[in-house]
Structure 1
Amino acid sequence: MTTNYLTSQNGAPIADDQNSLSAGERGPLLLQDWHLIEKLAHFNRERIPERIVHAKGTGVYGTFTLTKDLSDYTIADHFNGEGKQTETFVRFSTVGGEMGSADAERDPRGFGLRFYTKRGNHDIVGNNTPTFFLRDGIKFPDFIHTQKRNPMTNLKDPQAMWDFWSLNPEAMHQVTILMSDRGIPANYRQMHGYGSHTFSFWNAKGERFWVKFHFKSQQGVVNLTNEQADKLKGIDPDSSQRDMVAAIQDANFPRWTVNVQIMPEADANTYHINPFDLTKVWPHGDYPLIEIGVLELNRLPQNYFAEVEQVALAPSNLVPGVGASPDKMLQARLFAYADAQRYRIGANYNQLPVNCPHATQANHHQRGGAMAGTQCPFSGSQTGGDASANYGPNSTQSALVEPTQFAEPALRLDGEADRYSRYDQDDYTQAGNLYRIFSEDEKARLAATISGSLSQASMDVQERMLAHFFKADEDYGQRIKQGLGL
């Protein structure tokens, strides 16, 4: 019978893991007790910095099955060949709360999806909402500061939140979504997901298309009222995590129908809505949903920290056939997300099993940094080529070749470099349209939720916000005004 010995991290057998090395039975401990030092030092480092946003989340593996070939639009491998299956990983999350926060908070939900494709990892890092509060990433740090804790009191700050929104009317559409019944999903299975941003496809002919991703829950959509959420937060702060774990363990695998909206590149120049504005949706009457596949989640991670905490989703993880767009929020996130992972985990975070390519090999000239030399268990070496060559081009026999056939077609850019104000855009019509499709009960709950929160802000902030609500819809503004008792 084989005995599994307890060892230290370097593999040395440990004869006593229960008692520290001391100078006599009652004496002080000795610095030479390297096993004690190792245990305490590792314990001190067991937590990496939590994500500034999306700190608490749930991760699940699954598969994407393509039901409609998209080769007319993109050369992306996972979108070519009807019936093709691609391994996936999805991380759901709340946005503003810390690691210990409750799952049932009123908050957008992160919906981050990774495809482990044969040409690299493709990440779509979106939310459960098709829009966002901002259209320019330069405002993002300020916005998140208003969602976090007051630097003096360390308490959540309704004054800061509403003050910021009152001075940024572009947030009106997303504020209406957040404060409506859609603001508290009952769990992660029963909510839709969206890529939110505008991305690009390009095909073998070099034609470019603009695209938006939609993930429609086959479980239906279920939301919580304020009262239900308050009760659930007290009963089970981990309600969404527990719900997902139970579903997977019971083989009740959740599914989403995957859809895209596709816009020919030239349409962007004349369309009446800026198609790269994250505060707007593309009306389905103009660009209908095209069903392309099914996302199924069916396997739990084996180690939450190693896989869910250290998964490094980033919208900059793009593959041939899928690209970015002039969406200013997306442009900022292309840098910010990957940089956040370098800060949290280290320069070689993509060598961790959950992050490295599962269906191909990563070949590059990067060598140094934390965790250098770590090998991906799915594809072997993460460097490729001659291990001594950390530069390119080089003349070694195993020199890496640039596959020019995957080059993205040129994107024409026009205009003068400037810091353009976007406040001349229509920030109210889509918010008003959304309000008008709500039922009377939904409108009443929306007004009560906003009034209850906005009443905690100063009078000047309340008045500025009221002006925005009235511009979106007269009845919308009147209900909030009445709710505030003004």
Structure 2
Amino acid sequence: MFIVIREMKTEWCFLVFCIGIVAGHDDDPAANQIVDFRDRTSGPIGIMTTSLGAPINHNQASTTLNKRLIFHEFFMDYNLHFNREQIPPRVVHTKGGGAFGYFEVTHDMKDICKAKVFSKVGKKTPVAVRFSPQVQLFGGVDTSRDDRGFAVKFYTEDGNFDIVGLNTPMFVIKDPLFFPTFVHSRKKNPQTFLYDSNMFWNFLVLFPEGMHIQMRLFTDLGTPDGYRHMPGFGIHTFQVVNEEKENYFIRFHFTPDAGVKNLSSSEAQKIAGLDPDYANRDLFNAIDTRNFPSWTVSIQVLSVSDVKHADFDVFDVTRVLPEDKYPLRTVGKLILNKNPLNYFADIEQLAFCPCNLVPGILGSPDKLFESRCLSYRDAQHYRLGGNFMNIGVNKPIHEPLTYNRDGRPPIGGNKRNIPNYYPNSYNGPVPYLEENEVELIEIFESKADNLDQTRELYENMRFDEKARLIENIVSSLGSVTDPLLKKQSVNLLSAINPHLGSSVLEGLLANRTKYYWDKDFKVK
């Protein structure tokens, strides 16, 4: 009797345990995805086949023991594809998440831009969006202190238009020559394969314009609370043109309607240990439970006269355009309401390029934009092949009429039997004619000079924000082992603001038993 009761008690406890698990996952669709798939299907969805559609019999699918492997079609198909299922990762923004939705115009901007995507109130355009930490590799954490990618692809009737931005309104450098230098300084040491604070701070000392973005990232803004509460910025000052051939210049802003929310360093570190995929999980679950993330899309607008009479380079990507001088003008809403059906197909193969432009949007005349046009396109050719635009998620909504042919798959219909050279006399596609075409302006660019805005950023922080900023800088700079570099870094911070430099110095000295330090260190 005792044994029976004990067994019943054990079974009851296990039942309660299982019920608890199910209840715990009710609000976590991402964790329950595969269970939900089973519950939505009445049984196996069909007969398993090879990649070419041949059915696999049970005997082949059960074992390879005592069989000739080269004639074992399931083994050959399954294992040889397994060796080839990886593609080259992105060099930066390797790890990421994304979703699909639409952009809706709430305030038209025909007066400054003729692009059809912005043509009338109520117009909806399908979009794909990818978010990504910059430095994290596959398997990295979503809550690292880092800037994030905020890239939007608009599938317009005139082709795809991409805004390849960040969650910061500025970039780290102005001269694209040194972008590899920046990335390498943020990546792992080539011998130790560890992140190296000496490399990171050495870059900032050599390129002090990078402190503008880094100052922002050392605040709580450097650890956003998921992607839904993260703002986005187009970074560049885009040249646009209206139907009257008048030029204007704009910067894009995406402001989360749920509010900007961030994590403290301790919260970010705790979440990293418990759920490294925190941001991706949060985004997926919000969309799956119909709590659709949305952003208000705004622009800052400059006339030609504004550009000519500005007292700074409005095309300098390391600077922001002051909102009191160039106020935000609302354009529309960005709403994400559909999760990817297959992550690799829909997000990993999603290919952005700043030069994916449409009539009415000419891009930006700065050299970083020009460089990114080359680098992004080259990256897609390397990662996805010369026909990456034929991958489903990268296709425009209308079939392109191009003279490009052949190459590595996917090639689709390969443009069937239409002429394959231009110009031709046989009714192949022809370019459209635009009278008085407006071209992208040319500008002269001096070296970056933004310490005034970096100083202003610090001085406008609240007391508690400054305290956390200093704490985060001390934590980062404290692991620098080069005494000279440490001195140079404090001097740079002092040049931004004397209080900032002295506060960081005090923090380092107070923790010199914890950090590598030179007892004779003094600031100039």
Using structure 2 for the length normalisation, give the TM-score: 0.85
Is the CA contact 2:353–2:376 (under 8 Å) kept in the aligned structure 1? Answer: yes
Is the CA contact 1:202–1:408 (under 8 Å) kept in the aligned structure 2? Answer: no
Question: Equivalences for 1:326-341 in 2 at 5 Å?
Answer: 326-341=365-380
Give distance in 2, aligned partners of 1:464 and 1:211: 37
Residue 364 of structure 2 corresponds to residue 364 of structure 1: no
Residue 451 of structure 2 corresponds to residue 428 of structure 1: yes
The amino acid that maps onto 2:451 is Y
Does the residue aligned with 2:154 lie in a helix, a strand or coil?
strand
The amino acid that maps onto 2:493 is F
* CA offsets 1:29-84 (integer angstroms, 9 cap, x no match): 43233442221121111121111111111111111110111111111111101110
The amino acid that maps onto 1:149 is K
Residue 155 of structure 2 corresponds to residue 155 of structure 1: no
Say if 1:144 and 1:83 are closer, same or farther in 2 by CA, change over 3 A: same
* CA offsets 1:391-421 (integer angstroms, 9 cap, x no match): 1111223x10201239850345366xxxx76
Residue 223 of structure 2 corresponds to residue 184 of structure 1: yes
Is the CA contact 1:393–1:400 (under 8 Å) kept in the aligned structure 2? Answer: no
The amino acid that maps onto 1:410 is E
Which residue pairs with 1:400 in the alignment?
A: 429
Which residue pairs with 1:81 in the alignment?
A: 120
Question: Equivalences for 1:341-360 in 2 at 5 Å?
Answer: 341-358=380-397, 360=398
Deviation, structure 1 residue 148: 1.0
Correspondent of 2:166 among 127, 151, 159: 127
Give distance in 2, aligned partners of 1:148 and 1:411: 35
Which residue pairs with 1:277 in the alignment?
A: 316
Give distance in 1, aligned partners of 2:266 and 2:507: 18
Does the residue aligned with 2:324 lie in a helix, a strand or coil?
coil
Which residue pairs with 1:459 in the alignment?
A: 483
The amino acid that maps onto 2:438 is P
Residue 338 of structure 2 corresponds to residue 314 of structure 1: no
Question: Comparing both structures, which one devotes a greater share of its residues to helix?
Answer: 2
Which residue pairs with 2:419 in the alignment?
A: 389
Say if 1:408 and 1:346 are closer, same or farther in 2 by CA, change over 3 A: farther
Give distance in 1, aligned partners of 2:122 and 2:129: 20
Give distance in 1, aligned partners of 2:441 and 2:51: 54
Give distance in 2, aligned partners of 1:474 and 1:3: 68
Correspondent of 1:174 among 189, 210, 213: 213
Give distance in 2, aligned partners of 1:304 and 1:121: 21
Deviation, structure 1 residue 6: 2.1
* CA offsets 1:234-253 (integer angstroms, 9 cap, x no match): 11001001111111111111
Deviation, structure 1 residue 355: 0.5
Give distance in 2, aligned partners of 1:395 and 1:12: 45
Question: Equivalences for 1:109-258 in 2 at 5 Å?
Answer: 109-258=148-297
Deviation, structure 1 residue 431: 0.6
Using structure 1 for the length normalisation, give the TM-score: 0.92
Does the residue aligned with 1:298 lie in a helix, a strand or coil?
strand
Deviation, structure 1 residue 266: 3.9
Deviation, structure 1 residue 112: 0.5
Is the CA contact 1:214–1:260 (under 8 Å) kept in the aligned structure 2? Answer: yes
Is the CA contact 2:225–2:279 (under 8 Å) kept in the aligned structure 1? Answer: yes
Which residue pairs with 1:482 in the alignment?
A: 506
Does the residue aligned with 1:343 lie in a helix, a strand or coil?
helix
* CA offsets 1:138-171 (integer angstroms, 9 cap, x no match): 1111111111111101111111010111110110
Is the CA contact 2:69–2:75 (under 8 Å) kept in the aligned structure 1? Answer: no
Say if 1:389 and 1:165 are closer, same or farther in 2 by CA, change over 3 A: same
Deviation, structure 1 residue 180: 1.0
Is the CA contact 2:405–2:414 (under 8 Å) kept in the aligned structure 1? Answer: no
Question: Equivalences for 1:299-310 in 2 at 5 Å?
Answer: 299-310=338-349
**Aligned length, in residue pairs:** 466
Is the CA contact 2:129–2:152 (under 8 Å) kept in the aligned structure 1? Answer: yes
Say if 1:411 and 1:305 are closer, same or farther in 2 by CA, change over 3 A: closer
Deviation, structure 1 residue 271: 1.1
Does the residue aligned with 2:160 lie in a helix, a strand or coil?
strand
Correspondent of 1:448 among 464, 471, 476: 471
- Runs of at least 5 residues in structure 1 that lack an aligned partner in the other structure: 375-380
Give distance in 2, aligned partners of 1:296 and 1:227: 31
Say if 1:98 and 1:85 are closer, same or farther in 2 by CA, change over 3 A: same
Deviation, structure 1 residue 104: 0.6
Residue 51 of structure 2 corresponds to residue 9 of structure 1: yes
Does the residue aligned with 1:18 lie in a helix, a strand or coil?
helix
Deviation, structure 1 residue 427: 2.5
* CA offsets 1:88-130 (integer angstroms, 9 cap, x no match): 1111111101010010100111110011111111110101000
The amino acid that maps onto 1:280 is R
Which residue pairs with 2:61 in the alignment?
A: 18
Is the CA contact 2:151–2:166 (under 8 Å) kept in the aligned structure 1? Answer: yes
Is the CA contact 2:365–2:440 (under 8 Å) kept in the aligned structure 1? Answer: no
Which residue pairs with 1:378 in the alignment?
A: none
Matched residues, percent identical?
38
Say if 1:229 and 1:371 are closer, same or farther in 2 by CA, change over 3 A: same
Which residue pairs with 1:67 in the alignment?
A: 106
The amino acid that maps onto 1:400 is P
Is the CA contact 1:199–1:322 (under 8 Å) kept in the aligned structure 2? Answer: yes
Say if 1:367 and 1:20 are closer, same or farther in 2 by CA, change over 3 A: farther
Say if 1:412 and 1:290 are closer, same or farther in 2 by CA, change over 3 A: closer
Structure whose alpha-carbon radius of gyration is higher: 2
Give distance in 1, aligned partners of 2:138 and 2:379: 17
Q: CA RMSD in A?
A: 2.0
Deviation, structure 1 residue 213: 0.1
Which residue pairs with 2:329 in the alignment?
A: 290
Is the CA contact 2:134–2:147 (under 8 Å) kept in the aligned structure 1? Answer: yes
Give distance in 2, aligned partners of 1:446 and 1:258: 29
- Runs of at least 5 residues in structure 2 that lack an aligned partner in the other structure: 1-42, 510-520
Is the CA contact 1:363–1:382 (under 8 Å) kept in the aligned structure 2? Answer: no
Give distance in 2, aligned partners of 1:164 and 1:197: 23
Does the residue aligned with 2:394 lie in a helix, a strand or coil?
coil
Deviation, structure 1 residue 210: 1.2
Give distance in 2, aligned partners of 1:170 and 1:161: 14
Say if 1:64 and 1:102 are closer, same or farther in 2 by CA, change over 3 A: same
Does the residue aligned with 2:393 lie in a helix, a strand or coil?
coil
